[in-house]
Amino acid sequence: MAKQTTIHDIAKALGINSSTVSRALNDHPRVSIKTKQKVFEMAKEMNYQPNVLAANLRTKRSNTLGIVVPHISRAFFSNVIAGVEEYAQQKGFNVIIAQSKDMLERERKSVQTLMNSRVDGILISPALGNEDAQHIQEVIDRKTPVFFFDRHYKNIETTRVLMDDQQISAALASNIIQQGAKRFLVLSGDLKTSIYQNRLQGINNMLADYELPEAMVQETNLTYESSSALIEQIVQEGSFEFDAVMAMNDMAALGAQEALKKAGFTIPDQVLISGFSNEMFSRFSSPPITTVDQNGDKLGYMAAKKIIDFIEDPDPIAVEETSTLKSELILRKSSQRYQ
Amino acid sequence: MAKQTTIHDIAKALGINSSTVSRALNDHPRVSIKTKQKVFEMAKEMNYQPNVLAANLRTKRSNTLGIVVPHISRAFFSNVIAGVEEYAQQKGFNVIIAQSKDMLERERKSVQTLMNSRVDGILISPALGNEDAQHIQEVIDRKTPVFFFDRHYKNIETTRVLMDDQQISAALASNIIQQGAKRFLVLSGDLKTSIYQNRLQGINNMLADYELPEAMVQETNLTYESSSALIEQIVQEGSFEFDAVMAMNDMAALGAQEALKKAGFTIPDQVLISGFSNEMFSRFSSPPITTVDQNGDKLGYMAAKKIIDFIEDPDPIAVEETSTLKSELILRKSSQRYQ
DNA sequence: CTGAAAGCGCTAACAA
DNA sequence: TTGTTAGCGCTTTCAG
């Protein structure tokens, strides 16, 4: 590391005190314009780079946000990250990322690491199928804000930025019912997770409204493979008795669609299909798959805004609010018999 | 911020000196086992959290990696990030991300921010169509390692972890030639960018080997829309005289394929098509599209390994090496006339 | 408007 | 094996 210029070097070169340099650099009001100018010039000349670490140590603020997601490379989450980064960089915040891979142990470790790095706040979408939120509570107890996005721990009261899973699922179900479907099969992820509960709830509410029977539910890991295998099995068993498949992501929807096509069913004439999350491929499958666009980047932007605004002006009253972002229905051929 | 326990608090509680506590906590060899035990116990009891900021300030190391990508949410880059994070977290490094959106100004600013955060090294895939690498040179001059992945600035000599664009493109072209194609249309991105140059080079080399004419080249922004519009236009003009389209990403390949199908051509019988990057949808289009899998996560993992290993043991000799990662040909129906 | 001085929490000579 | 001491580079009272 080549010797970096410090405020002391600038001070010495200018024959003034380093505290004045510090103030000038921070645009403190009680510094004369002339001094400021001199300082800025000299700083540029000496190629001064502020040592943020030192400032952070002093001010106990790092201007850094931590974000922990289950999987960085999943379309939805990478959009969220992009949104977070967008707002953060506007406000001069860094973003440190960590992924839990949906494992509690890694989530704990990630949170721990972020805390050690003295982030000013943590945005987290918790690992699936876990209810033990003690590690989160500890962070909050230490006065570092933790806000949830997309997923959340039920027993932690803090700001949440969620998607309108229940409403949009209801809207989607309604649309599919109007296409003539009566018996629904739902391909769900782990039902201990709030988002899947909410989506199922939305679907069943709508079915009830139309006085249709509750949806059949299969918990799977929502991959292409497991979903097509499941459908294949159901077809072989002859226990096939649904005319609509609502999958809780696009991979599973596509797996179901391909398995059904292979078994000789036509989509959407015999079975209606919908997915979730608007992965790019769902637009190009045959038929294209109806899905829900979740606007991950907007969610990220909003979550970042909430937590950064809170960090800059902690208002204890607003801490426990829950915001819900609107998703968008993307109706495509897989669920549209009539145009 | 609730008062955090420091090493001094532990020292006082134990009646020893804080430097001993520091050493014990860092598992320094010259501390008695007994003392270490006592320290660890007390640390746990007092819920001690090390202040990494202070340590960093002192040691001038942050155990943090900066990574700047053009677009966080692009499949390839988010895989790279996932790979980087994977290795980094094994080695106890944080990862700060920034995106340039392929804009030089944002790239400059990102690099600047990372430098101010005192990252120990920067991994970067530069913005497209830019040759002015002064901001990178400055970082290197300040002795912070900057390694390239996927893309690079030609005039900066540093470690690069690249994909085998030229070789794999040649292999792909060879395969397509063997299917009977003679006149190639290449849908390329900005040809100022090394990866596109390399891919084109690989294709043309192979064409030369077979004594076929050079490929026709169209520079586009490689979106579905621009590519299908371009093909449509070519067809309408009647200037259509190719029997193979090699697109430099899957979006463009799909756009070309759909436009050709709409114009009445059959794929692969009349025109052979290939894409690049193995987006998920290319597997499910009709026909499925031949493409190249780039293993973004492996690249990320490797780049992270290179730079972290270098940070931990700077070896000036190894700094200018270029590694090339093997891609994988994914041959599908769009380019396979004969099975 | 500027200077002096203390200290954020930690590490690392050097000394004992 | 442990203690003493200095200081990383910055911010921030308190004085002037």
Interface contact A81-B60, CB threshold 8 A: no
The CA–C1' separation of B113 and C4, in angstroms, is: 32
CB of A158 closer than 8 Å to CB of A140: yes
In chain A, which residues have their Cβ closer than 8 Å to the Cβ of B79? Answer: 73
Protein CA B53 to sugar C1' D10 (Å): 12
Question: What's residue B249's pLDDT?
Answer: 92
Confidence of residue B79 (pLDDT cuts 50, 70, 90): very high
For residue A1, give the nearest of B54, B60, B85 by CB distance.
B60
What pLDDT shows up at residue A162? 94
Domains defined along chain B, listed by start: 7-50 (1.10.260.40), 62-162+296-326 (3.40.50.2300), 165-292+330-335 (3.40.50.2300)
Question: Residue A223: pLDDT above 60?
Answer: yes
* pLDDT the model gives residue A318: 66
pLDDT band (50, 70, 90) for residue B4: confident
Share of chain A above pLDDT 70, in %: 98
Q: What is the per-residue pLDDT for A184?
A: 97
Q: Can you tell me the distance from the alpha carbon of A101 to that of B70, in angstroms, rounded to the nearest whole number? A: 24
Our CA angle for A190, A193, A199, nearest 5°, is 90
Burial class (CB in 10 A: 0-12, 13-18, 19+), A119: buried
A133: helix, strand or coil: coil
Does the structure show a pLDDT above 60 at A7? yes
Answer whether residue B1 shows pLDDT above 50.
no
Is the predicted pLDDT of residue A291 greater than 80, yes or no?
yes
For residue A225, pLDDT over 70 is answered with yes
Query: Cβ of residue B59 near strand C, that is under 7 Å?
Result: yes
| Number of other residues whose CB lies within 10 A of the CB of residue A39 | 24
Rg of chain A, C-alpha, whole Å: 26
Q: Which of B30, B35, B115, B31 is nearest to B68 (CA)?
A: B115
The helix/strand count (H/E) of chain A reads as 12, 12
DSSP A147-189: EEESS--TT--S-EEEE-HHHHHHHHHHHHHHTT--SEEEEES
Q: Does the pLDDT value for residue B26 go beyond 80?
A: yes
pLDDT score recorded for residue A215:
96
Residue A270 CB in 7 A reach of strand C: no
How many other β-carbons are positioned within 10 Å of the β-carbon of residue A233? 11
Spell out which residues of B between 39 and 58 contact strand D, using CB within 7 Å. 54, 57-58
pLDDT value at A216 more than 60: yes
Task: Give the residue whose CA sits closest to D11 at C1'.
Answer: A58
Is residue A1 pLDDT above 60, yes or no?
A: no
pLDDT, mean over chain A: 92
Whole-number pLDDT of residue A129 = 78
The answer to whether the beta carbon of residue A50 comes closer than 7 angstroms to any atom of strand D is yes
- The reported pLDDT for the residue numbered B289 is 96
The DSSP secondary-structure symbol of A70 reads: S
Whether pLDDT at A66 is above 70 = yes
From the list B75, B85, B286, the residue facing A98 with the nearest CB is: B85
The region of weakest confidence among A177-186, B232-241, B265-274 is B232-241
Quick check: A30 CB within 7 A of strand C?
yes
Average pLDDT over residues A310-336: 88
Give the C-alpha distances (Å, rounded to integers) separating A3 from A10, A49, B113, B114, B225. Answer: 13, 11, 19, 18, 52
Nearest C-alpha neighbor of A215 from the set A254, A251, A250, A172 = A172
Among chain A residues, CA nearest to B106: A89
B320 band by pLDDT with thresholds 50, 70 and 90? confident
> Hey, are the CB atoms on A142 and B1 less than 8 Å from each other?
yes
CA distance B12 to B18: 8
Encode pLDDT of A138-167 as tens digits: 999 888 999 999 999 989 999 999 999 999
When the pLDDT of each residue in chain B is averaged and rounded to a whole number, the result is 92
pLDDT band at B338, cuts 50/70/90?
Answer: confident
